[in-house]
Structure 1
Amino acid sequence: MKRQWSKAGVIAAGNVLILLLCLALLLTDSLKVISNQLYDFNMKATMSREPHEDILVVAIDTQSIKEIGPYPWDRSVYADLIERMEAGGAKVIAFDIELYTESSSGGDGRLAEALAKYDNIIVPSHADVESRLQRSTLIREGEPLRAEGAVDPIPAFRKVWNRAHINATFDDTDGTIRSNWMTIVTPQGTYPTLALAAAQAAGADVSRYLDPPQLPGKPQGEALIRWTAGEYDFETIPFTSVIKGAIPPEVFKDRLVLIGYTVTGADEGITPVEKHMHLVYAHANLLHQILSGELVAPVRRGIDLALAVFVMLVLGLMTWRMSEIGGALLALGVFLLLLAGQFVLFAASDQYLDTLPALACGLIAYLGNIAMKTYFESKQRQYITRQFGRYISPDLVREIARSEQDIRLGGISKELTVLFLDVRGFTPLSEKLKPEEVVDLLNMMFNLITERALRNRGTIDKFIGDAAMILFNAPLDVPDHPYRAVKTAYEIQEGMRRVREEVRDKYGVDIAVGIGIHTGEVVVGNIGSYLRMEYTAIGDNVNTAARIESSTQPNQILVSEATYARTGGAFAYRDAGEKLMKGKSLPLRLYEVIAPQESSDKERTAPKVS
């Protein structure tokens, strides 16, 4: 019971640590960077690259600068641009350029006249937020974003004026533009973002975007941009081509025109779909989103955390109930299902479910529990090896424990040295002892026998009452198995000296051990039924070893001629003559072990007979 409670306590403590680690990851935004990358992948993979056909970009590009001259230009060129597009029937004209100061190049008067002439032109401002904004302290979730002020166009350009801001919203973690403030509140009034102002001027329904779904940790009115197209997907016309009259007027009919920089290095930002996108195309993507009625929204708050807890529980529990391969396949399947489900949900409904908390917590729960399971299985394997090593060879137990296959019935033919021993005089002794004393005495003798046998790489095949059968060279190979068997027998007889003296002094009975050894081919393996089997050896040579043991005198070790021929150089022998064994037609010559010889391994096979 103590062991079970100990295991349960370790598992409980381990899972508490797993839970605390997951909470630390979730509460500290440690997963934010990877979560953003997963979001960006979903966004880029679901791009249609088919922007709204009413959107047109007029680009201040390299070609225009070469033909018109170095920037800044005389602002009269903007007046010419406006006149040509208005003549073509443009629905909205929105400038993504700064007109906050009077021009040193001239043309402010002509541009002011053109701006005052039409009410569908948007000239933006820049809200004063980036210079001192610290999101962690000044932005409060759910409250409108307030700026200290706004930098507006010069007064001459505000006679007929549709206000808008062109502030970019950069993510704190990696500087990527994933969202935009739909409105910014300033002392001068509320400024919609440029795309929202353009959509309003075109008469589109923008009510959903004035109060978009609340984003975690963001101010009221901040919305995720649905990136639909890259720079080259939008229809783009060089600025210079328009003012030169190279573009047919009908191109502008009912179009929403955005005017911005596309010169390399000018007004660029990092977006989920392109690393260097000119920000006029960011406004174009947001404008497409509003005109198309698309709105990216996170799923209801708390679903991602509930999903993380569910995945942790499933993987943590099933790790203990399934095999290692089954658990690994389950974990892999859950992770793939989370990623696929997230992608399908986003592609189908523009709802984003952040599955990274579930992925991370599930992975931690799986790895943590599989580590604990492996630890306990290793301890259990070691325990089984220790326990069964008392009955069979520890080498055999380790071989079984390492095997990934079931134990099969059957055996192989192999040369073994088989040792039989029998305790003589034990029957009269047992009549004088209580049953528990008989068991204690047997255990003491068998401990001695087992220790000597295992020390010499023998396998205890079985104990039969007061007799024992020991195998050498199975299940693992022992090259000098005849020598090991004889050495074991001699050490057992030496160890029995003290046991005999104790029994004689205490009970007045003499006990002795007879040992017989034979080397030859036997069948060794798992023998029995699928319900009950044992690892043993059978065959005529096993019977021969048993017959040799029955021919011994008290405290005598007899070996066959086959064993003697392989060990004569290591032990001194006495020729015991020939004896006819039961079941044998010819007598066997036997040899009695006298004592070990001090000789090298090379001399072990040289017989020495006294």
Structure 2
Amino acid sequence: MTRAQQVGVIVGLVIVAILTILRASDPQLMRQAREVAFDEYQRIAPRAFQDLPVRVIDIDEASLKEFGQWPWPRDRMARLVDRLSEMGAAAIAFDILFSEPDRLSPRTVMRDVVGVDPLIVARLPDNDEIFARSIAEKPVVLGFALSNDGSARPEVKAGFAFTGEPPFHAPPRITGATPLRPQLEANAAGIGHISLNPGDPSAVVRTVPLLLSDGRQLYPNLAIEALRVALGASTYVLANAADIPDTITLIRIGDFVVPVTAAGALWLYLTPDRADRYVSARQVLAEKGVSPETRAAVEGSIVFVGTSAAGLQDIRTTALGQNVPGVSLQAQIVEQILSGRFLSRPDWADGLEILSIAVAGILLVLLTTFVSPAMALVCGLLVTALALAASWLAFLYGGLLLDPLAPIVSGSITHFAATAFRFLVIDRERREVRLAFGHYLSPSLLYRIEHTQDALRLGGDDRELTVMFVDIRNFTEISERLAPTAVVTFLNTFLDALSGHIIANEGTLDKFIGDSIMAFWNAPVDVGDHAAKAVHAALAMRETLARLNAQDAFGFGNGQTVGIGIGIHTGLACVGNMGAETHFNYSAVGDTVNVAARIEAACKDVCFDILVSESTAKLAPRYALLEAGALALKGKSTRTRTFAVVGDEDLAASASFAALKHVHGRLIDALAAQSPAAREILREAKSHSGGLSADLAEFYRRIARRADHFLQRPAAPPHVLPGGKTLH
């Protein structure tokens, strides 16, 4: 180990130590980034909606328009309770505060009128009393909110049982609450808090405390209190970690077990907001009675009464990025408990993430220093992929929230720092050599020179290639009517659009020859299914050219379009560095290259845009191919059997193409036998070709004139239909 490498390792390990300590301290920025990552997981795979017996009775805009502005008089709330109870609601929970006297009560209104006899006022109805009588002996749960004023505490209607010491200091602290009207508090079956994220600086509601504590008493959340009342349970059972005081691990409500954080909070696992979760209060209070649909929605359900009206300002932002009424989150808590779909961040998550940062960082430092930055990058990408995959799979299948960002970001910083140090110190001499030669050689050739022995020697290797030639039809005519600069613009647009498909399908772009492209597959590295990838690239070129013509991307106007011919052949060729000792190119030569060029030229005679040789067709059997005849290619002593590429694998598997291929085979047999039936079969083939490819019409119009191309034709293999049947 050189001194520079020793210094590099020390610097890298110091950076890893700093990053590990930083993660252990878990600053606010890291927590926010982690929570955003968990939000993205929910957006990708939200909780699946199930039609559970949970509904929101929505005081929506339509209800306010029907019955007047908010707040409504409490005698109307009493009618709402009576209707819901009569419809068979299992529990009725109000995400509404009833802390002040009803200002619309007749007794309250008349009390302030001068000259009215107090005895008369006393005999007037009081809406709070009406509401209190309505909720008595019914499964009604009222809500309260936290308050910094005073020290009021709501009455707790439920009991609590503990498996260990009472965790009174685990939940968030309650110092005061909005007081309920005494008669309402006394008659309610349950009371729960409606605070969704007290003390959380984030506007996004990700966790909800199911319990609050004043140090001596626990206060349940509205949602679990509604579930308790609906189940007829009287007590919550709390479990805590045996070795950690003042923590909560589980809350049991009847037969339902809810995993929670140590502070008793529930990680929300949400479904996107849905209209079928809501029932308008207007439908419940309808003067003409309740519809069967509304009754069916409410019967047996836990209903939460709240508002979605924008002016009432009870809109919350969720991890899914939606703005929803706060009451819908209370409903979703109960849905989540009933469905048994929970999220949790285990106690060991922090330790695992800190350890992963340290181990991955040390590995990257060593690899960057002693192997190569490229190898370190590969390992870093592998670690990134593993971290993402592990975190995602843990979320998807276990509901576990494991941070993927901390090890990824820390690994990236470590790799960048170690690579920068190596670049500035360790690799300085090698970099100077690269910079000197980089003025004369392309980056790809320079890389091959560095990593391949005798890479600069002339000569090549024989290997199987799939060679493609692409040519613009009528280019001379096009160039004659364009200015030279316009010709260059046209060629640049054309070549850039089509050559990208060669690279995308793992081909090697050999050269541009005027208006033509030469490319090959399976060199300089092995490419699996190289013939099929060449055919796929040709089909993509056809599609791209059609799009460019439709958009008039070449600017010709008047409906003028550009056509191409593509020839593909697979065979043995010599590929390597070719040229002079001082100037050479990486290219391919041989009969295979010549045949591919001749097949491309033959596209004009066949009147089809993509032709492949028989050797290519055998290596790409999944594509929709039709025999185009054995062509006498220029410079070849024997005929070359060719196939027209009609379409991709989906078309090849279709019933319409199977029928056409069967008729086409009969047509070729008839032409080879010079049978009088060929004319009738040709008409049948034309009828089957409609809609498959625009070029097939001209292909079949020309085919009868090329009957000699099919004489003494070798037998074609049977066409295999889906299900294993064959057409001969």
**Range class of TM-score, shorter chain:** 0.5 to 0.7
Residue equivalent to 1:149: 176
Matches of 1:370 and 1:311, distance apart in 2 = 15
Per-residue displacement from partner, 1:109-137 (whole Å, max 9, x unpaired)?
2111011132x1101111336999xxxxx
Q: Is the CA contact 1:145–1:219 (under 8 Å) kept in the aligned structure 2?
A: no
Q: Is the CA contact 2:55–2:297 (under 8 Å) kept in the aligned structure 1?
A: no
Write the mapping of 1:342-491 to structure 2, written as runs, cut at 5 A. 342-381=391-430, 403-406=446-449, 408=454
Write the mapping of 1:61-76 to structure 2, written as runs, cut at 5 A. 61-76=60-75
Residue equivalent to 2:691: none
Percentage identity across paired residues of the two chains: 20
5+ long unaligned stretches in structure 2? 106-126, 152-166, 241-247, 252-259, 459-579, 583-728
Matches of 1:196 and 1:14, distance apart in 2 = 51
* 1:52 positional shift: 4.7
Q: Aligned pair in 2 of structure 1 residues 195, 177: CA closer, same or farther (>3 Å)?
A: same
Per-residue displacement from partner, 1:480-515 (whole Å, max 9, x unpaired)?
xxxxxxxxxxxxxxxxxxxxxxxxxxxxxxxxxxxx
* 1:381 positional shift: 1.9
Residue equivalent to 1:252: 298
* 1:382 positional shift: 6.4
* 1:185 positional shift: 1.7
Residue equivalent to 1:533: none
Residue equivalent to 1:296: 343
* 1:396 positional shift: 7.7
Residue equivalent to 1:109: 129
* 1:293 positional shift: 2.8
CA RMSD of aligned residues (A): 3.6
Structure label with greater radius of gyration: 1
* 1:181 positional shift: 1.1
Q: Aligned pair in 2 of structure 1 residues 172, 144: CA closer, same or farther (>3 Å)?
A: closer
* 1:171 positional shift: 7.0
Matches of 1:234 and 1:147, distance apart in 2 = 35
Structure 1 SS opposite 2:318: coil
Matches of 1:360 and 1:341, distance apart in 2 = 16
Q: 2:359 aligns with which of 310, 313, 317?
A: 310
* 1:147 positional shift: 1.4
Residues 1:224 and 2:274 are matched in the alignment: no
Residue equivalent to 1:262: 308
Q: What amino acid maps onto 1:283 in structure 2?
A: Q
Aligned length, in residue pairs: 395
* 1:203 positional shift: 1.8
Matches of 2:409 and 2:218, distance apart in 1 = 41
Residue equivalent to 1:487: none
Matches of 2:191 and 2:79, distance apart in 1 = 22
Residues 1:238 and 2:237 are matched in the alignment: no
Matches of 1:127 and 1:410, distance apart in 2 = 79
Residue equivalent to 1:17: 15
Per-residue displacement from partner, 1:56-75 (whole Å, max 9, x unpaired)?
11100000000101111111
Structure 2 SS opposite 1:31: helix
Matches of 2:447 and 2:140, distance apart in 1 = 77
Q: What amino acid maps onto 1:143 in structure 2?
A: A
Structure 2 SS opposite 1:191: strand
Q: TM-score, normalised by structure 2?
A: 0.49
Q: Is the CA contact 1:59–1:236 (under 8 Å) kept in the aligned structure 2?
A: yes
Write the mapping of 1:38-117 to structure 2, written as runs, cut at 5 A. 38-106=37-105, 107-117=127-137
Write the mapping of 1:420-569 to structure 2, written as runs, cut at 5 A. none
Q: Is the CA contact 1:95–1:258 (under 8 Å) kept in the aligned structure 2?
A: yes
Q: Aligned pair in 2 of structure 1 residues 176, 325: CA closer, same or farther (>3 Å)?
A: same
Q: Is the CA contact 1:230–1:274 (under 8 Å) kept in the aligned structure 2?
A: no
Matches of 1:35 and 1:41, distance apart in 2 = 10
* 1:313 positional shift: 2.7
* 1:10 positional shift: 3.4
Structure 2 SS opposite 1:150: coil
Q: What amino acid maps onto 1:48 in structure 2?
A: R
Q: Aligned pair in 2 of structure 1 residues 291, 370: CA closer, same or farther (>3 Å)?
A: same
Residues 1:195 and 2:244 are matched in the alignment: no
Q: Is the CA contact 2:47–2:341 (under 8 Å) kept in the aligned structure 1?
A: no
Q: Is the CA contact 2:150–2:176 (under 8 Å) kept in the aligned structure 1?
A: no
Write the mapping of 1:177-216 to structure 2, written as runs, cut at 5 A. 177-186=205-214, 189-203=217-231, 207=237, 211-212=248-249
Residues 1:128 and 2:158 are matched in the alignment: no
Q: Aligned pair in 2 of structure 1 residues 241, 70: CA closer, same or farther (>3 Å)?
A: same
Residue equivalent to 1:330: 379
* 1:264 positional shift: 1.6
Q: Is the CA contact 1:91–1:256 (under 8 Å) kept in the aligned structure 2?
A: yes
Moved more, 282-291 or 120-129: 120-129
* 1:13 positional shift: 2.2
Q: 1:272 aligns with which of 302, 305, 319?
A: 319
Structure 1 SS opposite 2:29: coil
Q: What amino acid maps onto 2:37 in structure 1?
A: L
Q: Aligned pair in 2 of structure 1 residues 401, 43: CA closer, same or farther (>3 Å)?
A: closer
Matches of 2:219 and 2:412, distance apart in 1 = 45
* 1:38 positional shift: 0.5
Q: What amino acid maps onto 1:240 in structure 2?
A: R
* 1:189 positional shift: 4.2
Q: What amino acid maps onto 1:158 in structure 2?
A: E
